[in-house]
């Protein structure tokens, strides 16, 4: 994705581009908004713009956007660029721990291996515990050269003021993003497969299979990317205790990233079901998030009423909440899908 793919975020993005043009980009930003996936996408795009190998230049001498196709852009998009670090809550208590921050700071103070600018993205920065925040303060205030910190939060009121005061804050709307081609193709296949599903069990289980297959693809991709970046791949002769620690960290990182991408996938389904709800109420079609899916959405809307469409949205919200607990994934998805009125 490039900045052009965020039509609903023109104001904060124009501020970023103005700073880029004037050479006054801050060293630490706090991106706030209702949806973390939106904030992550913008942070990724800024990282790509700072390191793009073939940036589009339209009447300016510095890059204001990324090409989204060069090697650097692809690596950043796939979360495998060695100089773009992503930190997420990974402990059982879903916080960003002081050990995570200490490990991060060791990497931060190394020179970039290939990037023009090292970028550190802290996802759900409101989950940074007090010890981690205190360990982070000095570096956040005075980062190494060619380093930019981007903190993301949907709940900035939960953050320490000492962290917030060291960042330039930009607020983003929660609007829907332009879909990546593979996400659009998958969502189209899912929406089309609902045609004729009605109350039958077999078609519903086919839809469940569609979701589970996509989740398996995502997890395999995450495992491959994060495993390649793990220090386990760089050192052959390591102590058993350190190996266990690195394996535990790798597994936690894989699980955290998978949960995030699973949430994003189900959000796509929920957003499409919102389109169905809009159609049941005969709302203007320009309000639809996915106009390309209108034929499939209209077929579902023709089979149900507005109250059933609203119940579908509640079911998806409940399924998302269940998946944040220790409930078995396949069971939660099965129960939720069988409750949908399609």
The verdict on 186 and 142 lying in the same domain is no
The domain boundary, picked from 122, 144, 172, lies at 172
The verdict on 290 and 315 lying in the same domain is yes
The domain boundary, picked from 172, 203, 218, lies at 172
- What residues make up the domain containing 92? 3-172
The verdict on 210 and 146 lying in the same domain is no
The verdict on 271 and 167 lying in the same domain is no
Q: Give the residues of the chain that fall short of pLDDT 70.
A: 58-61, 91-93, 174-179, 195-200
DSSP conformation letters of 159-220: S-HHHHTTSEEEEE--PPPPPPHHHHHHHHHHHHHTTTTTT-HHHHHHHHHHHHHHHHHHHH
- Using the 8-state DSSP alphabet, how is residue 279 labeled? H
The verdict on 195 and 310 lying in the same domain is yes
The verdict on 101 and 198 lying in the same domain is no
The verdict on 108 and 235 lying in the same domain is no
Q: Report the distance separating Cα 304 and Cα 245, nearest Å.
A: 52
Q: Report the distance separating Cα 330 and Cα 334, nearest Å.
A: 6
What does the pLDDT read at residue 333?
93
Contact 149, 114 (CB under 8 A): no
For position 9, which CATH number holds?
3.40.50.300
The verdict on 167 and 197 lying in the same domain is no
Count of domains observed in the chain: 2
The verdict on 312 and 267 lying in the same domain is yes
The verdict on 133 and 224 lying in the same domain is no
What does the pLDDT read at residue 91?
60
Q: What are the E-state strand segments in the chain?
A: 28-33, 84-87, 118-122, 147-153, 168-172
Contact 28, 121 (CB under 8 A): no
The domain boundary, picked from 172, 192, 209, lies at 172
What does the pLDDT read at residue 92?
60
Handedness of CA 231, 236, 238, 244 (dihedral sign): positive
What does the pLDDT read at residue 35?
82
What does the pLDDT read at residue 321?
81
The verdict on 116 and 232 lying in the same domain is no
What CA dihedral angle connects 207, 212, 213 and 218, to 10 degrees? 130
What does the pLDDT read at residue 74?
92
What does the pLDDT read at residue 156?
86
């Amino acid at each position: 994705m490039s900045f052009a793919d965020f039509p609903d975020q023109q104001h904060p993005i124009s501020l970023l581009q103005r700073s880029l043009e004037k050479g006054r980009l801050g060293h630490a930003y706090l991106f706030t908004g209702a949806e973390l996936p939106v904030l992550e996408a913008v942070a990724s795009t800024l990282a790509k713009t700072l390191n793009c190998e073939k940036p589009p230049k339209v009447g300016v001498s510095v890059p204001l956007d990324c090409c989204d196709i060069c090697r650097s852009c692809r690596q950043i998009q796939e979360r495998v660029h060695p100089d773009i670090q992503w930190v997420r809550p990974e402990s059982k208590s879903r916080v960003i721990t002081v050990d995570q921050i200490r490990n991060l700071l060791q990497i931060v103070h190394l020179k970039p291996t290939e990037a023009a600018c090292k970028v550190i993205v802290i996802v759900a920065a409101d989950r940074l515990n007090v010890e981690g925040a205190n360990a982070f303060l000095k570096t956040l205030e005075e980062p190494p050269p060619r380093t930019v910190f981007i903190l993301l939060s949907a709940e900035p009121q939960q953050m320490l003021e000492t962290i917030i005061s060291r960042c330039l804050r930009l607020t983003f709307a929660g609007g829907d993003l332009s879909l990546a081609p593979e996400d659009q193709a998958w969502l189209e296949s899912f929406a089309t497969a609902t045609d004729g599903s009605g109350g039958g069990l077999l078609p519903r289980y086919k839809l469940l299979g569609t979701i589970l297959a996509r989740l398996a693809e995502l997890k395999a991709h995450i495992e491959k990317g994060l495993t390649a970046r793990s220090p386990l791949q760089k050192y052959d002769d390591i102590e058993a205790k350190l190996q266990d620690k690195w394996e535990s960290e790798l597994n936690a990182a894989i699980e955290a990233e998978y949960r995030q991408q699973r949430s994003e996938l189900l959000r796509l389904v929920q957003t499409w079901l919102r389109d169905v709800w809009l159609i049941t109420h005969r709302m203007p079609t320009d309000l639809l998030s996915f106009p390309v899916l209108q034929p499939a959405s209209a077929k579902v809307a023709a089979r149900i009423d507005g109250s059933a469409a609203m119940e579908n949205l509640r079911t998806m919200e409940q399924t998302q909440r269940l998946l944040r607990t220790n409930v078995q994934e396949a069971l939660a998805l099965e129960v939720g899908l069988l409750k949908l009125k399609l």
